[in-house]
Amino acid sequence: MGKYQIIFGRQAVIEAVEASKTITKVFIQRDLNKSSAERLIRTLENATTPIPMFPFKSLTN
């Protein structure tokens, strides 16, 4: 079984995507200020592999 890593922070996720790291899930706080998450969302949308995004609430359920 493979090991999974958890990446925290917008910039860290952006860097991982840009470095072509395999990412399976991205949790984004639903009420996050759009301007602060704009680059992250744009980077995820432009990734060559689809990356499912989940609201932050998914972490607490």
pLDDT of residue 50: 74
The confidence score (pLDDT) of residue 15 equals: 94
| pTM, 2 dp | 0.71
Residues 6+ apart with CB under 8 A from 22: 49
CB neighbours of residue 13 within 10 Å: 20
Q: What is the pLDDT of residue 59?
A: 65
- How high is the mean pLDDT in each 10-residue block of the chain (61 residues)? 81 92 81 76 82 72 60
